[in-house]
A and B are shown apart, each in its own frame.
Chain A
Amino acid sequence: MEQKTKIHAEDGKQELIITREFNLPVELLFKAHSEADIIEQWMGTKVLKLDYKKHGSYQFETSDAKGNVVVKINGAIHEFSPGRKITRTFEMENTPFGVQLEILEFEPLTADTSKLNMHVIYESAVQRDRVLQLPFAQGINMAHTRLQNIVSKLK
């Protein structure tokens, strides 16, 4: 399958850029990032709090198949411009990975396609590389089956 998601990460820098084009109108791409029940479906996480507005905040909690909480995530919202841009912080609680700043820009390409540009800035280049070296897919994979069930139910 074609790999649509691109990551630009230069050596020694404390940032990276994730880009992805979607076969979705920009409104739906934005909706997927701003509504709790939808975020839960594709992020494979539980949304405890989602107050998306300037000075607002959010809290996620990811559990394994057994129901044990694997990681808690929280952050503050700095900009929330519907259909266009979200600026937020992101922190995995009780981990040594620091706080990262995330700037998400939503760009319409055509009436039915759109692009997400996600600029992530870490506390340091070392911090960025530590996060990149994390064996990530874990929580997501565990939630995979559950998600597939949800999607097939929606269809």
Chain B
Amino acid sequence: MNLRRDVFQAIADPTRRAILLLVASQAMTAGAIAANFDTARPTVSKHLQILTECELLEQKQNGREIYYHSNAKKMKEVADFIEPFRQMWDDRFNKLENVMKAYQAKKPE
């Protein structure tokens, strides 16, 4: 039996978030997904397995190929998705502040 995976643990990893972003607009095969990463294919497979276990991704057979697509229903259940979004802006703005402080220090008025 698969371990029940925690959704937030699943999206804590940047590669897994990247995978979710990739398949958000279109279903993709494991090979097509792996082609987007430097990571070894088995590592990508492991990420796909985790995302599938926590139901963020669904597999669909199409002929010989298995396509991964995002599970919109599950995504919707995650009401706290606003937190990663907020965190992203917080990180960005922290960087903005650092960049501009460095800029200020470099060019005193």
Contacts and interface: CB of A to CB of B under 8 A. Distances in A.
A133 B76 contact: yes
How many A residues are at the interface, by size bracket?
35 or more
Q: Interface SS of chain A: helix, strand, loop or mixed?
A: mixed
B90 A4 contact: yes
How many B residues are at the interface, by size bracket?
35 or more
B84 A136 contact: yes
B97 A23 contact: yes
Contacts, number: 128
Nearest to B97: A22
A137 B88 contact: yes
Interface string A16-50: 00101011100011011000001001111000000
A66 B38 contact: yes
Q: Interface SS of chain B: helix, strand, loop or mixed?
A: helix
Interface in B24-78: 24-25, 36-38, 75-76, 78
A133 B14 contact: no
Contacts of A71: 21
Contact of B21 (A9, A65, A66, A70): A70
A134 B36 contact: no
B17 interface: yes
B102 A7 contact: no
A140 B96 CA distance: 12
A65 to B, nearest CB: 6
A23 B105 CA distance: 13
B51 to A, nearest CB: 10
B96 A32 contact: yes
A24 B14 contact: no
A114 to B, nearest CB: 10
B92 A132 contact: no
Contact of A31 (B81, B82, B100): B100
**The 7 A-B residue pairs with the shortest CB-CB distance in the complex, in nearest-first order:** A135-B17, A154-B102, A5-B90, A135-B20, A42-B96, A42-B95, A141-B14
15 contacts: A4-B94, A5-B90, A18-B89, A23-B97, A24-B101, A31-B100, A32-B96, A38-B100, A42-B96, A66-B37, A94-B25, A135-B24, A136-B88, A140-B92, A154-B106
